[in-house]
C-alpha cells in the first residue's frame, strides 16, 4: 500500500475519532450548557482551546505515523545520520509560542468580559454565605430570602436582566457556584467580591458552596429560578407580602459582614 494512502487512512480515522468524540458531547467537551451570556463566553473559550488542542494532537500523530512508516528499517544499512535542521527547529520552537500567545490573548479577553461589572445593573442581590446556609437580600426591592429550615433557599431572577451578586462572608471562605452559570466566585471575610450574570433562558438550577467550609459544608445548597420579567415582578410582590422565614434553630444567624480592610 502506498505510503500516502496509508497516511490518508490514518488521518481520516483520527478525524473521525475527534469528530465522534465532539459529537457525543455536543461539541461542549464535557462542559455543561451555559445559561448565562458570561458562561457562553467561557464555553466558547473552552471549545476553542479544545479544538486547538485537537489540531495540534492531529498534527503530532500524523508526523509520528509518517516517521514510523517512512523511516522504518528496510535493510541492515544505517538510516541517515544527518542532524541539525535549523528551519525545522525554528518552526517547532516558534509554533508552540504562537499557539500559547493566541490562547493567552483569547483567555485575557474572555476574562475581561466575564468579570466586568456594569455601572447600573438591573437587579442587585446581596449574597451572604455563612456556616451553613445562604442569605439573599434584594436591597432595592426590600426582599430577603432564607432557608425555611427544610428546603434550601430559592431565589428568582428575571431572564435577560443584568444581575449583580455582591458576595460577602461573615465567618470563613465560601464560594457562590451555580454550575450552569459557568462562573463562580469566592466569598471571603473582609473582601467585597461581586459577579454579574445575564441569564439567557428560563429554568431552575441548583447552586452550592464550592469551597469546603466546615463540617456542614454539604448543607450549603440553594436554587435559582429564571423566569420572564412579569413572573419575576409577581414573585417580588409575593415575597414582599410574606414575612421573612426564620432559620432553623441549629443554624446560627449570619453575623454582620466584616468591613473590608483599607
Ligand atoms: Cu461554604
Q: How far is ligand 1, taken at its centre, from the CA of residue 129, in Å?
A: 7
Cα 17 to ligand 1 centroid, rounded to whole Å: 41
Convert the pLDDT of each residue in 116-151 to its tens digit. 999 999 999 999 999 999 999 999 999 999 998 889
CA of 219 to the centre of ligand 1 (A): 8
CA 130 to ligand 1 centroid distance, Å: 7
Q: Which residue has the cell 463562580?
A: 184
Looking at residue 26, its pLDDT comes to 58
State the pTM of this model.
0.78
Q: Do 93 and 107 meet the contact criterion of CB atoms below 8 Å apart?
A: no
Residue 102 has pLDDT above 90, yes or no: yes
Task: Mention the CATH class of domain 123-241.
Answer: mainly beta
pLDDT at residue 250 in the model:
47
Domain boundaries, the chain: 3-71+85-115, 123-241
3-state class of 83 per DSSP?
coil
The answer for residues whose C-beta is within 8 angstroms of residue 15's C-beta and 6 or more apart is: 58
Q: Supply the pLDDT for residue 6.
A: 60
| Residues around ligand 1, an ion, CB closer than 5 A | 174, 209, 213, 220
Query: pLDDT-based confidence at 24, cuts 50/70/90?
Result: very low
pLDDT digits (tens, 9 = 90+) for 207-262: 999 999 999 999 999 999 999 999 999 999 999 887 665 554 345 545 554 444 44
Q: In what order do the strands lie in the sheet with 143-145?
A: 143-145, 133-138, 123-130, 162-168, 193-198
Is omega for the bond preceding 200 within 30 degrees of 0, making it cis? no
Say whether pLDDT at 174 is over 90. yes
Amino acid at each position: 500500500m502506498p505510503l500516502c494512502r496509508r497516511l490518508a487512512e490514518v488521518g481520516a480515522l483520527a478525524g473521525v475519532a475527534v469528530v465522534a468524540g465532539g459529537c457525543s458531547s455536543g461539541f461542549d467537551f464535557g462542559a455543561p450548557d451555559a445559561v448565562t451570556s458570561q458562561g457562553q463566553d467561557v464555553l466558547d473559550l473552552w471549545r476553542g482551546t479544545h479544538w486547538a488542542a485537537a489540531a495540534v494532537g492531529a498534527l503530532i500523530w500524523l508526523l509520528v505515523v509518517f516517521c514510523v512508516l517512512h523511516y522504518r528499517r528496510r535493510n541492515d544499512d544505517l538510516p541517515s545520520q544527518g542532524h541539525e535542521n535549523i528551519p525545522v527547529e525554528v518552526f517547532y520552537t516558534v509554533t508552540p509560542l504562537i499557539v500559547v500567545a493566541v490562547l493567552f490573548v483569547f483567555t485575557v479577553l474572555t476574562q475581561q468580559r466575564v468579570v466586568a461589572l456594569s455601572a447600573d445593573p438591573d437587579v442587585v442581590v446581596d449574597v451572604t454565605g455563612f456556616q451553613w446556609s445562604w442569605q439573599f437580600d434584594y436591597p432595592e426591592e426590600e426582599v430577603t430570602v432564607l432557608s425555611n429550615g427544610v428546603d434550601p433557599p430559592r431565589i428568582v431572577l428575571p431572564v435577560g436582566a443584568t444581575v449583580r451578586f455582591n458576595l460577602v462572608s461573615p465567618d470563613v471562605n465560601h464560594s457562590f457556584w451555580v454550575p450552569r452559570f459557568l462562573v463562580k466566585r469566592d466569598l471571603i471575610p473582609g473582601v467585597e467580591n461581586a459577579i454579574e450574570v445575564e441569564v439567557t433562558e428560563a429554568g431552575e438550577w441548583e447552586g452550592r458552596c464550592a469551597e469546603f467550609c466546615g463540617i456542614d459544608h454539604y448543607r450549603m445548597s440553594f436554587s435559582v429560578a429564571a423566569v420572564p420579567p412579569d413572573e419575576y415582578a409577581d414573585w417580588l410582590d409575593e415575597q414582599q407580602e410574606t414575612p421573612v422565614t426564620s432559620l432553623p434553630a441549629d443554624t446560627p444567624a449570619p453575623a454582620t459582614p466584616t468591613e473590608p480592610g483599607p
